[in-house]
Amino acid sequence: MAIDTSYYVYALKDPRESPALPFYIGKGTGTRSFDHLVRPDESRKGQRIKEIEAAGYIVLVTRMVDELSEPQAIRLEAELISSFGTVDTGGRLLNNVLPSGLSAKARTSVVLPSGVKEKAQIALSLLKDAVLELAKANPGGISNSDAASLLGLRSDYGGGSKDYLSYSVLGILMREGKLARSTTNRKHIARVQ
């Protein structure tokens, strides 16, 4: 079986700076790197794109590495985001890798290596996408057990924990309004967006 190497990692750069430095790093296939420019959203990235265009410039789209497998692209994207840092962590990127509601409070007794929070948030974003895609494919809804077993998220922890990772992801998606809890059973149903 051939490995799909259609992925790439790209940067969106602000041409008003010299040198033009990235304000967003992403991964994708096909036209993904240009999709942001077609319909800029209301995120900080979208606002920057609108500002650049309003000033009469064109956002520079640079493919940094081509012909990657998806795992290679995910890893490289995470490493680059970690290297540049997000504005939320004192860096320059406008990537929205931190979900709303996360505490920014630091624990002085725990060492937080540079970039690990961004990596965790990228992984969380991928988990949320996978759970939401599973829910959308099953109009009758999915249970926590479905998400945990079908996506390989079952807990092997010996302390009696019951698949808290999948419960957490379901809870975040409900808080974001992307899933709703069925009133007739313990299923989670994707909301039409």
The residues, ordered by sequence, that sit 6+ positions from 166 with a Cβ below 8 Å of its Cβ are 131, 144, 147, 148, 151, 153
- Separation in Å, CA 14 to CA 68, 99, 152, 191: 25, 25, 40, 35
The predicted structure's pLDDT at residue 110: 82
CATH topology of domain 116-190: Arc Repressor Mutant, subunit A (1.10.10)
Output the six-digit token pair for 80: 């680059």
Residue entry with tokens 């990772």: 165
The predicted structure's pLDDT at residue 189: 93
pTM above 0.85, yes or no: no
φ and ψ of 64, to 5 deg: -85, -40
Please give the full DSSP string across 78-108, using - where no structure is assigned: HHHHHHH-BGGGTSSB----SPTT---PPPT
What whole-number distance in Å separates Cα of residue 114 and Cα of residue 122? Answer: 14
pLDDT 10s per residue in the chain (193 long)? 678 889 999 999 999 999 999 999 999 999 999 999 998 888 899 999 999 999 999 999 999 999 998 888 888 888 888 888 888 878 899 987 643 334 455 567 888 777 777 778 788 888 988 999 999 999 999 999 999 999 998 887 766 667 888 888 998 888 888 899 988 888 999 987 6
7-89 — its CATH code?
3.40.1440
Beta-bridge partner residues of 10: 26, 63
Of the candidates 109, 115, 110, the residue with the CA atom closest to the CA atom of residue 90: 115
| 3-state SS, residue 70 | helix
For residues 47 and 39, is the Cβ–Cβ distance under 8 A?
no
Output the six-digit token pair for 3: 């490995």
**Boundaries of every domain in the chain:** 7-89, 116-190
Output the six-digit token pair for 35: 């999709």
